[in-house]
Structure 1
Amino acid sequence: MYVKSTVGLGLNYRSTKEAAGLLTINTRNFRVGYSYQFGTASNNPGGAKRSTQEISVAYFFGRLLDDLHLL
């Protein structure tokens, strides 16, 4: 879900009993994203120890993000 094509929020669930929260921030030609994934199974030993974090950075040359049509 994008708010005014600037801030994106999302949730993800996998059949391996893992969930993730996603956040994306867009500017004219720059995008920064963050994701946090963790296990949801009751037999998940270690709990937060099995979590992962991901950061993505993108810079767009040429066409600007304003020219792209997001879903």
Structure 2
Amino acid sequence: MTEIFAVRYAETLARATRIFGSREKAERWMVTPALGLEQRRPIEMLASAEDLEVLETFLGRIEYGVYH
């Protein structure tokens, strides 16, 4: 795991934990294909800056109730 990937993972996991209410739920979300991400798993989207931006937008939508 590269350092950049590790940092992105930690930051995304922390945000997802706040949104979903537990680390366990956040970890499960990170490895589950998401309809709003074209069935991609969030963890797969941490490798590129462009995908990370899409993922962050998606998390924001979940946080504000746009996606369930």
TM over 0.5: no
Higher strand residue share: 1
TM-score (norm 2): 0.24
Structure with more helix by fraction: 2
TM superposition score normalised by structure 1: 0.24
